[in-house]
Amino acid sequence: GAVVSQHPSWVICKSGTSVKIECRSLDFQATTMFWYRQFPKQSLMLMATSNEGSKATYEQGVEKDKFLINHASLTLSTLTVTSAHPEDSSFYICSAPTAGDTNTEAFFGQGTRLTVV
Amino acid sequence: KQEVTQIPAALSVPEGENLVLNCSFTDSAIYNLQWFRQDPGKGLTSLLLIQSSQREQTSGRLNASLDKSSGRSTLYIAASQPGDSATYLCAVSGNQFYFGTGTSLTVIP
C-alpha cells in the first residue's frame, strides 16, 4: 500500500513554544491531507483538511491561528502547534487518500505524540 | 451528522477463537468503509477497504462485510492469535472520514 510518513513520532516541548509536525506522502502525490487528533481511549477527531496550494479547511471548534497548516507541495503538509499549552498534549495523526478525496483508501502516518510540559 | 458506533468496546478471547467485531453507522450515504488496526501509541494500519457497491472483502484471516442499507459492517477474525491484540477502528467516508471509537481486542495465549 501507499506510504505516509509522519515526523517526529514523539516530541516534548515547554509551554509557550511552537512545534511543527510533518506529514509526507512517500510514493504518491497528495493534493489533500487530513489532520486528526486522538485523546486517550478515544477515537480520531478530524481537525482540518489540508489542501495543496490553498488554505486549509478547519473543523468547527479548531483554532486556525493555533494550529497552523501548510500544504506547500504535493507530498508535504505541516501542522504547527503554536504557543503550546499542556491541554494541547495529544496524539496527532495525518492521513492522505491516494486519489485526493475520501472516495479512495486512506493511509495514515505513524502519529506524533505531543507532550507539553 | 454521521455517527459511527463500535461494539463491543473491549473484547478478550483465548487464542484460536473466531471472533466478530461490529460497526454501525447512521447515514448510509457513504463512499466506502475501512477497517484499521491501531497498536498502542502507533498510527493506523489499513486492514480492509470495502467500496459502497461491495458486500465484503477478505484478506487472509480477516473478512469484512458491509450492509449499507442497514448501516452495518462486521469484521470477522478467524483463528485469533496473540499478535492480533490491538484496537480495531472502522471508518466510513462521506465528505470526510468518520471514525468509530474502536474495539480493544486482547487475545490470550
Kindly state the cell numbers that stand for B51. 467500496
pLDDT over threshold 60, residue A100: no
Provide the mean pLDDT of chain A: 90
| Residues of B in Cβ contact (< 8 Å) with A106 | 34, 46, 91, 93, 97
| Residues of B in Cβ contact (< 8 Å) with A1 | 46
CA proximity to A32, closest of B96, B36, B4, B33: B96
pLDDT at position B14, please?
97
pLDDT 10s per residue in chain B (109 long)?
889 999 999 999 999 999 999 999 999 988 899 999 999 888 888 899 998 889 999 999 999 999 999 999 999 999 999 999 999 999 998 777 889 989 999 999 9
pLDDT at position B5, please?
95
The residue that leads in pLDDT, A1 or A36, is: A36
User: Which candidate in A42, A43, A98, A107 is best for mutational testing of the B interface (most B CBs within 10 A)?
Assistant: A43
Question: Across the interface, do B46 and A107 touch by the CB < 8 Å criterion?
Answer: yes
pLDDT at position A101, please?
58
Per-residue pLDDT tens digits for A29-67: 888 899 999 988 788 899 999 988 889 999 999 999 999
Which of B31, B32, B102 shows the shortest C-beta gap to A43?
Answer: B102
pLDDT at position B41, please?
80
Question: Across the interface, do A106 and B97 touch by the CB < 8 Å criterion?
Answer: yes
**A59 vs A66: CA distance, rounded Å:** 13
| Residues of A in Cβ contact (< 8 Å) with B31 | 102-103
Q: Which residue type sits at A114?
A: L
Please enumerate, as own/partner, the contacts of A71-74 that have beta carbons within 8 Å and a separation of 24 or more. A71/A33, A74/A25, A74/A29, A74/A30, A74/A31
Instruction: Determine how β-strand A112-116 pairs with β-strand B19-25.
Output: unpaired
Q: Output helix, strand, coil percentages for chain A, rounded to the nearest 5.
A: 5, 50, 45
DSSP state of B66: E
